[in-house]
Amino acid sequence: MFKKVIVTLLVLVTLIPALAFAGGQGDKGAKAKVTFYWALYDGLTEDYRANVQNSFNKAYEKEGITVDIVPTPWDNMHDKLATAVAGGTPPELSVVGTRWILEYMSVDAVEPVDKYVSKATLDNILPGTKEAVINGKLMGLPIAAGARILAINTDITSKVPATVEEMREEAIKVTKPGVYGLLMPGKKNTELTDFAYYLYAAGGDFYEKKADGSFGKSAVNSPAGVKALQFMVDIATKDKIVQEGYLAQTRMESHPIFYAGKGAYVLMGAWCDSAMKQAGSTFKVKYAQIPPFAGSKSTPLVITDSVAIFSKAKYKAEAGKFLDFFYKDEYKAKFDELVGFPPVTASAAKLPQFNNPLYQALNEAAANAKGWPLIDGFAEHSDIIWDACQKAFLGQMTAKDALDEAAAKINKSMGL
């Protein structure tokens, strides 16, 4: 969508006379002003934003560098940024949904962040949160990253499974009328999280990887992909340990069953604690890692937002200095605490405010996590994979045949 917006705006801009001060140009001798489009996450305060801005400006006053942190509602960020990029007046920095980066790369609007950010900052970022690595280049720093974990209702079971097979075995034992061993959505929607959980747990991936790091053919019908889907089919149709009506429930529609104390295991994210409080949950929960299939290693899914550096902005080197400043524990750890996300830096992950069972599980997950593949067309491919899952759930096709069909459709859409 953003690519279309950008291209449309670029056409319109050609009809407008060139702007005298486009692209961050200013009067000679003026201070270097870094503009940062700052997404308004829930929990962030104006006092915090102002403190970051004022502290940086004071620290870099002698160097003549200032930052202007522009608060921007998420609902407005897409259009605001697309308009600025198309008009030739992008900010130096902006928070973006990590997948947007592909759209901006298609019009050469962003640059690798490691050209401007220090090695010390980059080395402190937890590897599992670096979702914006595209064709071997880090195109954005993670600002908000949420790895997925396993939540366990200890009123039903205290077992922390070491493998997917152990989780299934225990879920079978505890399932009884009104209690489900393992929750799973089955309704087609925009998210493909549960298939990704089990695909990654089996050591699989969505696409083959070429030697240069780029994506090749679909790999959803690999042995790992078939194992993942067959597991989902078996627990739903053979073991019958998932909730009734799962085919009519999305991920977020199935989770309230867990909050009500009727599910033993559920794979979810950092919001579990707050959602349980809002739902008035009375049971205790234990957090653990999403287990791998036997013979594989735990590889949780992580979803991130990033900070991108824009090519046509004037003060990119100064933007790098700001990011080095902001990613210090004094500022970035406070950001993480306010918005409720686990830290993206190794140093912040060791701080006492993140030393509780939830954050401990999230931090451990982040160190081994893997994000969505950053590739054009993934939304369409997800839709195709969802169709395959539902055909297998309904017994219309075997897991292998359904995924073979899906892979063929995906490859055709990619021209392969």
Give the CA dihedral 140, 143, 82, 136, nearest 10 degrees: 20
**Buried b / exposed e across 63-74, counting CB within 10 Å, b at 16+?**
eebbbebeebee
**CA torsion through residues 223, 225, 229, 232, sign:** positive
**CB-count exposure of residue 307 (10 Å: 0-12, 13-18, 19+):** buried
- Going by their DSSP bridges, the two strands 207-209 and 302-310 should be labelled as unpaired
pLDDT tens track for 8-44: 444 444 433 333 333 344 444 568 999 999 998 878 8
- Residue 54 vs residues 44, 59, 69, 123: alpha-carbon distances, Å: 16, 9, 10, 26
pTM greater than 0.95: no
- Stated as kind and residue range, the H or E segment containing 123 is helix 119-124
Q: Are 262 and 157 in contact (CB under 8 A)?
A: no
Secondary structure of residue 274 in the 3-state scheme: helix
- The pLDDT, as a whole number, for residue 6 is 52
| φ, ψ (nearest 5 deg) of residue 39 | -70, 135
pLDDT tens track for 185-207: 999 987 899 999 999 999 999 99
The residue assigned the tokens 């899914």 is: 301
- The pLDDT, as a whole number, for residue 68 is 98
Q: Domains, the chain, ranges and CATH?
A: 2-146+304-362 (3.40.190.10), 149-299+377-413 (3.40.190.10)
- Going by their DSSP bridges, the two strands 93-97 and 302-310 should be labelled as antiparallel
Secondary structure of residue 180 in the 3-state scheme: strand
The residue assigned the tokens 């897991």 is: 399
Residues of the chain with pLDDT under 70: 1-30
Q: Are 66 and 31 in contact (CB under 8 A)?
A: yes
Q: Are 102 and 69 in contact (CB under 8 A)?
A: no
CB atoms within 10 A of CB 294: 11
Q: CA-CA distance, 269 to 146, in Å (whole number)? A: 7
Q: What type of residue is 279?
A: A
